[in-house]
Amino acid sequence: MWSKQGRHRRRRRQIISGTAAALAAATGLVLALTVPGTASAAVLGAAYTRTQAWETGYSADYTVTNTTGSARGFTLEFDLPAGARLTSLWNAQYQVGGQHVTVTPATWQPELAPGAAVDVGFVVSTTGTVADPTGCRIDGGPCAPGGDPAGPTSAPSATTAVPPATPPATAPASPPVTETATAPPATSQPATAPPATASPGAGSNRFAPYIDTSLYPPFDLVSAARATGVRTYTLAFVLAGGGGCTPRWGGVSELNQDGVPGQIGQLRALGGDVRVSFGGANGTELASACASPAALATAYGQVISAYGLSRVDFDIEGAALSDAAAVDRRDQAIAELQRDATAQGRPLDVSFTLPVLPSGLTQPGVALLENARERGVAVGSVNVMAMDFGDGVAPNPDGQMGSYAIDAATATQAQVKGVFGLSDTDAWSRLAVTPMIGVNDTSTEVFRQADARQLAAFATGHGLAWLSMWSLTRDQPCPGGPAGFAQPTCSSLDQQPLEFTRIFAAG
């Protein structure tokens, strides 16, 4: 999402093969258990399950179980069919060489206790027939009783290392051992809006569009709420400003500014509320500017206190997504803020907004969620930015942006389910989706009204946590009519004012 300070979210391209199209309901189960074959053979179990499938990919698990009497690590190997590519993996580390995948334990769980098991989940994207892995080996032995029908494959001499499913190589793969952040001191800054005393009605918080607070004149939040019935909004973005670890709107404006934040009290008088988003594509996120978890918790806490917040969002993308040290500082700070809020009887709901492809979150996104889990963050929802995919992974997008958003949500649901150990229903209920309405920065990608209806119906049918859009400010026709490029204050489409808002709000 972009503001007046710069272009939209991301210009990166992930080198991931495969495209996304209509969702196909397909699951399969293959079970493989190792047995002792020689005196040195491993006595470990490896059970394979395909958890979800769609036209050009699938998600799956290998459940590795230690049936021995002592703690031990493992090496799991398997081969992907021709035309398939591993796009993400969680709960373990891995390397890919050609079609051969080698999996070893995560750094935070280097050994399995006797009788313990770990679910190694992953997403595969394919340009050909959707097919399961073959050649399963564990600790060098066959995964299937009586031998390995596929036969082992030798890894290519040139093996490409893939970032582990913990924060990437810019810092240690596992979260560094540090002291738990201390609670932020109480801030003396007066609140600019009364705290939320009650959540909006059940239906009204299922859609929470973004508002770009950096634009002038400020968006009339209260009038939009009265006109559409929407009562929950996401205000973007709070960044580091003042030359250091100081929260500022857009990295520039003080927290006590009027503008859109100055309307929060009036919105709450109507029964509404806001979620404030930290981060975004431009500027410096506070976790990159604050030197310690304690200082970062203080900075976040100033914003929470100023507006009496019960909901916050962390929009992490670009270089910030791969900054392992900042990721870990942020998670320690958030966990401390949540503990403090719970102790005060005002739980703090936290969402992470992350870039996505039709094949799901990229590996750094999965690693971010794993680190949050390890640091004790209660993640209320994972919001994916279904936008600016790029031609390589979303070809011929006109008329398919709704389908691509659904593919992205479906793949991410499997990742969220695996990382947090949730049921299917609970994983859907932790998922949110944010498209960029109208013409995207990748101008061939145009999210139209029909795409919005398709996504809204999917969200209702699958019980998603909420939907959003970038942005409410853009939900209107442009003064000069439709255009072939993205604009910050209109959609570049032929549309009625607030048309997308009404579509998403109606579900």
Measured CA to CA, the distance from residue 58 to residue 490 in angstroms comes to: 36
Quick one: residue 381, left, alpha or beta (phi over 0 = left, psi -120 to 50 = alpha)?
beta
| Tens-place pLDDT, residues 276-333 | 999 999 999 999 999 999 999 999 999 999 999 999 999 999 999 999 999 999 999 9
Total residues found in the chain within this entry: 507
Q: Please state which architecture CATH assigns to domain 28-161.
A: Sandwich (2.60)
Measured CA to CA, the distance from residue 286 to residue 295 in angstroms comes to: 10
Catalytic pick from 77, 285, 317, 374? 317
- At a CB cut-off of 8 Å and minimum separation 6, what does 39 contact? none
| Tens-place pLDDT, residues 468-491 | 999 999 999 999 999 999 999 999
Measured CA to CA, the distance from residue 469 to residue 234 in angstroms comes to: 9
Q: Report the percent of the chain where pLDDT is more than 90.
A: 71
Q: Give the pLDDT mean for 355-365.
A: 96
- Domain 217-506 = CATH 3.90.1150.10: no
| Tens-place pLDDT, residues 239-270 | 999 889 999 999 999 998 889 999 999 999 99
| Tens-place pLDDT, residues 128-176 | 788 999 999 999 988 764 333 333 333 333 333 333 333 333 333 333 3
The residues spanned by each domain of the chain are: 28-161, 217-506
Query: Which of 139-148, 389-398, 415-424 shows the lowest mean pLDDT across its residues?
Result: 139-148
Burial class (CB in 10 A: 0-12, 13-18, 19+), 193: buried
- Cα 409 to Cα 110, 207, 458, 473, 477: the distances in Å are 31, 16, 10, 24, 28
CB 295 within 8 A of CB 181: no
Phi/psi of residue 230, nearest 5 degrees: -70, 130
pTM: 0.77
The closest of 229, 320, 314, 328 to 276, measured between CA atoms, is: 314
217-506 matches 28-161 in CATH topology: no
| Tens-place pLDDT, residues 81-124 | 999 999 999 999 999 999 999 999 998 889 999 989 999 999 99
Query: Strands (DSSP E) along 44-182, which ranges?
Result: 44-54, 57-66, 76-79, 84-90, 92-97, 100-105, 117-126, 134-138, 141-142, 160-161
Measured CA to CA, the distance from residue 211 to residue 227 in angstroms comes to: 16
Catalytic residue list contains 179 = no
